[in-house]
Structure 1
Amino acid sequence: MISQTFSLGAERPVRRLGFGTAQLTGPGYWGPRGDRADAVAVLRRAVERGVTLIDTADNYGPELAEELIAEALHPYPADLVVATKGGVVRTSDSAWHIAGRPEQLRAMCEASLRRLRVETIDLYQLHRLDPEVPMAEQLGALDELRRAGKIRHIGLDTVSADQLAQALSLTCIASVQNRFNLLDRGSEAVLKLCEGRGLAFLPWFPLANGALTGDAAAALAQIAERHGASRGQISLAWLLHRSPALCPTPGTASPAHLDENLDAARIRLSAGELSELEALQPS
């Protein structure tokens, strides 16, 4: 039996299958996608379906995704964790600028607090480590925010196992968000470290960004047919079976697709199916 929950920071239980908000914004995570009321409705539907972990970032929109969360869900349910990210500045739909100086991180966190309408952010993730700023200074700024009560837990996004080990020697880390899916398991060492240290691993592109093709697509189709499920649902179910630390947060702007994703938590894969999926290689 796989666990449906994870204890974030060893104190805050969340449903492992959460919801990501990037798809509520336009192409390149820039500007709006469709009608604002539709985005609000999807967020409310996610919580109605039992989601207790919502992942976002200040640069989705930019700013728009955080504003939508507050519009849809504030005041927040007591069991809901809203995780956001800072440390990247957007100047266009294709321009991303790492910004990890302590004063930048403090300003970004304060802005997210205002947009989310909270006094404390449950999980604040450093979106990228800034290679121009010592890690100790970046994490030191987040530690100051945590001591001030503005952050409850600190997370990291897109780090190596060595970087994570270094970060853990500097401060308490509650989560990592790296790319990980059926066809991209390059962060296996990071996942193992998360398992050993009790950290949540929030895989981004959990559905391989729609790139489940070739032999992988054929195998998924066969297993999906057995379960009366979609290929995406099998991909999400594989993540939930793969490790108790994995907490996927697939995103969508469609209520029907949201329901489909969340229904993946009900699927139980056999040992043979898991072996078959484990053996798949990128096409």
Structure 2
Amino acid sequence: MRPSAHAARAGIARPGGAGLLGNRQVSRIGYGAMQLDRLRGDRDAALALLRRAVELGINHVDTAQFYGNGFVNELIRDVLRPGDGVTVVSKVGAIPDPDSPYPRPAQRPEQLRAAVESNLAGLGLDQVPVVNLRRLDVGPGGRAGGDQAVDVDDQLAEMIALRDEGKIGAIGLSSVTIDILRQALPAGIVCVQNAYSLVTRDDEDMLRLCIDEQIAWVPYFPLGSALAGLPKVTEESAVVAAAGTLGATPAQVGLAWLLHHAPNVLLIPGTADTVHLEENTAAGAIALDETTRDTLDAIPSRTPDFPRG
């Protein structure tokens, strides 16, 4: 779904300004749709939240067929229209696991192909604009073993074939190391999704590589993590103080810091609440002066001890 001529003429303001996702111009503040599954019992509220995101100028929506076992993609299919000009990004490499809060690995090439087909059907699209290969090299959840321990070159060969067939528009990566990213660069990677925030900056070298290679950096857990025992941006005293000075929320300060930190950052904060959606979107208008940025930069980064599924 590319931006319509009407949208271009209307000059719709994009939250956080415009950024590049491959050759697509998208709002630097997008929307991560995973939490829509929390509204399974109130479908009308879920649909209204998605429409509100579009009204706010968001044209980058992140999803996966394994979110809610297809429920989230179904909502996106029913709400988004071609004229909205929304770039839908999905991911493959996992399937739902009813016995765990984390999805089960589905890393083999034939599983990646099947997942793309499921996304196409669930979203009602002829092509998914961007598909992220979700590996299990870093981040929460278990690591791939046995027949699920697949070399990235074998996976990318299948992803490239799917791109050549027109079923996906571009390839991204998720939950990868910098060595895997370097190995994957010849495939034409357009984005990387890793856990990254003001309080979790282990991947600074990978972020810089992405800047050099013109690859979008799309952090998940952009405010730290809601998982018990892991660092949270909103609990940092310097963040709380900055929020008070700016008349913002600590979450908005954390998101604004990411946008100021690197030019290739695209955010996809998720929520099931319209008020939080509007607050997240408004973070794109927050200006951080040099003194505030220096204070926030001085917050120590802590390596998270993610739970294993």
Aligned to 2:104: 97
Aligned to 1:85: 91
Alignment of 1:236-255 (within 5 A): 236-255=255-274
Contact 1:216 1:281 in 2 (8 A): no
Q: Does 1:22 align with 2:34?
A: yes
TM-score normalised over the length of structure 2: 0.84
Q: Does 1:65 align with 2:72?
A: yes
Q: SS of the residue aligned with 2:169? A: strand
Contact 1:180 1:187 in 2 (8 A): yes
Aligned to 2:124: 117
Cα shift readout 1:126-166 (whole Å, capped 9, x = no counterpart): 11155622211101111011000111010000111111000
Q: Does 1:263 align with 2:282?
A: yes
**Which ranges of structure 2 fall in alignment gaps of 5 or more residues?**
1-15, 137-143, 303-309
Once residues 261 and 232 of structure 1 are traced to their aligned partners in structure 2, the CA distance between those partners, rounded to angstroms, is 8
Once residues 192 and 162 of structure 1 are traced to their aligned partners in structure 2, the CA distance between those partners, rounded to angstroms, is 14
Contact 1:184 1:282 in 2 (8 A): yes
Residue 212 of structure 1, CA deviation: 6.0
- How many residues of Structure 1 are paired with residues of Structure 2 in the alignment? 274
Contact 2:197 2:233 in 1 (8 A): no
| 1:193 to 1:43, Cα distance in 2 relative to 1, 3 A | same
Of 113, 133, 146, the residue aligned with 2:150 is 133
TM-score normalised over the length of structure 1: 0.91
* Matching residue's letter, 2:242: I
What percent of counterpart residues are identical? 38
* Matching residue's letter, 1:12: R
Of 138, 163, 181, the residue aligned with 2:180 is 163
**Which ranges of structure 1 fall in alignment gaps of 5 or more residues?**
27-31
* Matching residue's letter, 1:4: G
Aligned to 1:5: 18
Q: Does 1:144 align with 2:151?
A: no
Cα shift readout 1:33-71 (whole Å, capped 9, x = no counterpart): 441111111111001000011011111112111111111
Q: SS of the residue aligned with 2:170? A: strand
* Matching residue's letter, 1:153: A
Contact 1:216 1:280 in 2 (8 A): no
* Matching residue's letter, 1:265: G
Cα shift readout 1:90-140 (whole Å, capped 9, x = no counterpart): 222425321121111111101100111110111101111556222111011
Contact 2:59 2:84 in 1 (8 A): no
Once residues 234 and 134 of structure 1 are traced to their aligned partners in structure 2, the CA distance between those partners, rounded to angstroms, is 39
Cα shift readout 1:226-257 (whole Å, capped 9, x = no counterpart): 11100000000000000011111001111111
